[in-house]
Amino acid sequence: MTVARAAAAALLGALLVTGCGKPETPRVDAAAEKAAATERAKERAYGGTGVKALEDAKKLGDDINNKAQKNVD
């Protein structure tokens, strides 16, 4: 009976050791996930207007910077 217990303990130990490896990291494209999250935020009932306003403000800032750069040149 002690041989069976020793074999069972060895088998259990081997199973635990093989299961304790480094998990695989998921392959996710960060830029695609950010774009998808932004689109989901636009769809929400309350958060959509804030996201759209922020994007409009960024576009307006870029437009002003481009016009200012043309005037400098």
pLDDT tens track for 11-32 = 777 766 666 667 677 788 888 9
In angstroms, the CA 36 to CA 30 distance is 10
Question: What's residue 65's pLDDT?
Answer: 93
In angstroms, the CA 55 to CA 38 distance is 10
In angstroms, the CA 42 to CA 47 distance is 7
The CA–CA distances, whole Å, from 62 to 32, 56, 59, 66 equal: 22, 10, 5, 6
Residue 46, domain extent: 41-73
61 within domain boundaries:
yes
Q: How many domains does the chain have?
A: 1
pTM of the model: 0.43
48 within domain boundaries:
yes
25 within domain boundaries:
no
58 within domain boundaries:
yes
Q: Which residues contact 48 (CB under 8 A, 6 or more apart)?
A: 41, 42
